[in-house]
Amino acid sequence: MTRRPYIVGNWKMYGTRAMLSEARAIDRAAQRHMKVEVALAPPYTLIHPIHREAEQIAVGAQDCHHQDGGAHTGDISAAMIADAGAKFVILGHSERRQDHGEGDALVRAKAEAALAAGLRIIMCCGESAGTRESGKAVEFVKQQLTASLPSAEAMPADIAERLTVAYEPIWAIGTGTAATTDDIGEMHACIRALLVDLFGEEQGRDVRIIYGGSVKPDNAAAIFAVPEVGGALVGGASLTADSFMGIALAASEPFEN
Ligand code: PEP
C-alpha cells in the first residue's frame, strides 16, 4: 500500500495560546499539501484549542499514563487526551526515557493503554552516541523496539493504521546534525525487517517508519529520498509554519514520482 508521507511536529514544552496563530497557519498550509499527512503534538494545554479549530491536521499528545485513571497527581490518561481531541500519542521519546526514567516495559504499557483508548501511536526508538560509536546501534534499536511495542496479539487488527515507528538517534535530536542518509537507510531497513518479523508480511510492510533528529527544510528532501523513510518527526523546525511546511513540501516531492 502506498501511504502518504507523515510529517509530525513535536512542540515539546513550547507553546502557549500565543502559538495558536502558528498552528492555524500550519493547518491552512496543510490544506494546500494534501499529498502529505501533517500532524502536530503540542503541549497538553493546546490539544483542545488546536483540535477545535483545525480543519486538516490531526492533533496528538507527547505522552500519556499507562492507567485509565486513579491517584496519579499531574498525570493524564489516554482517554483524557482522546477526549480533548487527540488522535495519536508519541510514546517512548528519548526525552521521556531520560527525564522520567521510562523503561521499555512502561512504554509498552502506555502503548497498550493508548491503543485501547482508540489512539494511533508513534513509537520512538533510537540509540545514544556511545551506542552508535560502539557499533551496536542496530542491535540496540531492535531490542528497544521489540521490548517497547505491544505483542502482535495485543495489537489491533489494523496495525499499520494505528502504529508508526519513529527512528530518532538521540545524538541527532536538537543538535542540528541529522544522521547520514546511509545510517538512516540502514536502520530503517532493519526496522522494516523487524516489523515484518513481529507483525507478519502484510501488516509489517505497511507500518510507517519516520525519521526524527534535526530535520530541516534544507535536509528534508535528501532524507525523504531514502528507502523506507515514510516521513519525519520534527522538533525545533515544527515551531514555525514556514520551516515546518518547508519540510512538508519536501515530503510531497519524492512521492510524486
Ligand atoms: C524530536 O524531539 O523528536 C526531534 C526530532 O527534535 P529536533 O527536530 O529538534 O531534532
What is the mean pLDDT for each group of 10 consecutive residues in the chain (257 residues)?
A: 91 97 97 95 98 98 97 98 98 98 98 98 98 98 98 94 98 97 98 97 96 98 97 98 97 60
Q: Does a structural domain hold residue 138? A: yes
Please identify which of the residues 51, 66, 93, 188 carries the catalytic annotation: 93
Determine the pLDDT at residue 179. 98
Q: Does a structural domain hold residue 156? A: yes
Q: Does a structural domain hold residue 238? A: yes
Q: Does a structural domain hold residue 139? A: yes
Pocket test residue of 124, 214, 218 for ligand 1, highest count of atoms within 8 A of CB: 214
C-alpha 48/C-alpha 119 separation (Å) is 15
Pocket test residue of 11, 96, 211, 215 for ligand 1, highest count of atoms within 8 A of CB: 215
Q: Does a structural domain hold residue 252? A: yes
Determine the pLDDT at residue 124. 98
Asked whether the CA dihedral 20, 4, 168, 244 is positive or negative, the reply is negative
Number of domains the chain contains:
1
Q: What are phi and psi of 89, to 5 degrees?
A: -140, 140
Can you give the pTM of this predicted structure? Answer: 0.97
Determine the pLDDT at residue 257. 32
Give residue 251's identity as a one-letter amino acid code: A
| 168 given a catalytic annotation | yes
What residue's CA is closest to ligand 1, atom 1?
235
Q: What are phi and psi of 7, to 5 degrees?
A: -120, 115
Q: For residues 93 and 63, is the Cβ–Cβ distance under 8 A?
A: yes
End-to-end CA distance of the chain: 15
* Residue 151 Cα to ligand 1 middle (Å): 27
C-alpha cell at 255: 512521492
Q: Does a structural domain hold residue 105? A: yes
C-alpha cell at 251: 515530503
Q: Does a structural domain hold residue 111? A: yes
Q: What are phi and psi of 41, to 5 degrees?
A: -115, 90
* CATH number, domain with residue 11: 3.20.20.70
Domain extent at residue 240: 6-256
* Residue 233 Cα to ligand 1 middle (Å): 7
* Helix pair angle (217-224, 241-252), 10° resolution: 20
Give residue 196's identity as a one-letter amino acid code: V
Place of cell 519540510: 247
Q: Which residues line ligand 1 (CB under 6 A)?
A: 10, 168, 173-174, 212-215, 233-237
Determine the pLDDT at residue 2. 73
C-alpha 169/C-alpha 141 separation (Å) is 9
Pocket test residue of 8, 88, 98, 173 for ligand 1, highest count of atoms within 8 A of CB: 173
* Helix pair angle (20-30, 44-53), 10° resolution: 50
* Residue 177 Cα to ligand 1 middle (Å): 11
Q: For residues 179 and 233, is the Cβ–Cβ distance under 8 A?
A: no
Q: Does a structural domain hold residue 1? A: no
